[in-house]
Amino acid sequence: MGLTLAPDHQAADMIRSAVATEESDIFVEALFLWQKPGAGAPEAEILAVYNVLRSISTLQGLEYYSASRKKIRPLYVYSSLIAGLNDPSPVRDSQLQRLPPVPETLYARQNDTTFGDNQYRITLTGGMDFVTQHSTNLTRLSLGIVPVAGPGDVNVRLLVLSVDEGLLFYAASSARAAVVPGVRGKLETSFGNRAEAVYNWFSSELAATWPKQR
């Protein structure tokens, strides 16, 4: 599947290569521009972005537009980092003082109103002008009682890129799903609405923690 909205950047090329290896049935992109409230030190700006994307607990209570119910409703009723792959003990968010030199892997438990209570692996990578986040499900996702995707079959990749105009927020959601009648459209709509909700969360959290101007 071709990426039509991805920025021209090496981090986007890595997303493009990863998506090309997946046998996805569903693929949805979204792109937003966040205008910076002021210019800070570039390294401080990227660190602020990185810390927002790893503050998983702040997603709890996030709302989105449900196309099926035609109203605003909660997206995540629970969201927390957990200790590890085989340890679901909750872990508090923490703020890093510098970017890790290598990709960071975190684990999370999220209970959302579409797919239920599941665990995810989240990988974060930071560079001079970008941060990426890759989330993949570790448990089977279902729509109600209908299983739709096995472990590892749903991947959500975020790229936040610093540009002259502000910050580009790019989201690519893909799924290898059991496409029964009516499910494809629901998943595509859900992915699009989720991307918008997550962008709204990101921009709100970042505005509150944006570094002071130089």
| pLDDT digits 0-9 by tens, 98-156 | 999 999 999 999 999 988 999 999 999 999 999 999 999 999 998 878 788 899 999 99
Residue 182: pLDDT band (50, 70, 90) is low
**What is the CA angle 29-32-36, rounded to 5?**
155
Count CB neighbours of 10 within 10 A. 8
Smallest CA-to-CA distance from 123 within 114, 115, 132, 113 is with 132
DSSP lists the bridge partners of residue 61 as none
**Rounded Cα–Cα distance for residues 131 and 19 (Å):** 18
DSSP letter at 36? -
Count CB neighbours of 111 within 10 A. 15
- Range list of H helices, the chain: 10-21, 42-53, 183-209
Residue 1: pLDDT band (50, 70, 90) is low
pLDDT tens-digit map of 5-43? 999 999 999 999 999 998 888 899 999 999 998 877 899
pLDDT of 130 reads 98
pLDDT of 176 reads 86
What torsion, rounded to 10 degrees, do the Cα atoms 80, 83, 89, 93 define? -40
By percentage, how much of the chain surpasses pLDDT 90? 74
pLDDT of 102 reads 97
Say yes or no to pLDDT of 162 above 90: yes
Enumerate domains of the chain plus CATH numbers.
10-209 (3.30.530.20)
Burial of 149 (0-12, 13-18, 19+ CB in 10 A): buried
pLDDT of 179 reads 60
Say yes or no to pLDDT of 168 above 60: yes
Token output for 132 = 């990426």
Say yes or no to pLDDT of 72 above 70: yes
Burial of 57 (0-12, 13-18, 19+ CB in 10 A): middle
* Greatest C-alpha distance within the chain: 55
CB 50 within 8 A of CB 126: yes
Q: Which long-range contacts (CB under 8 A, 24 or more apart) does 150-155 make?
A: 150/176, 153/177, 155/18, 155/19, 155/22, 155/24
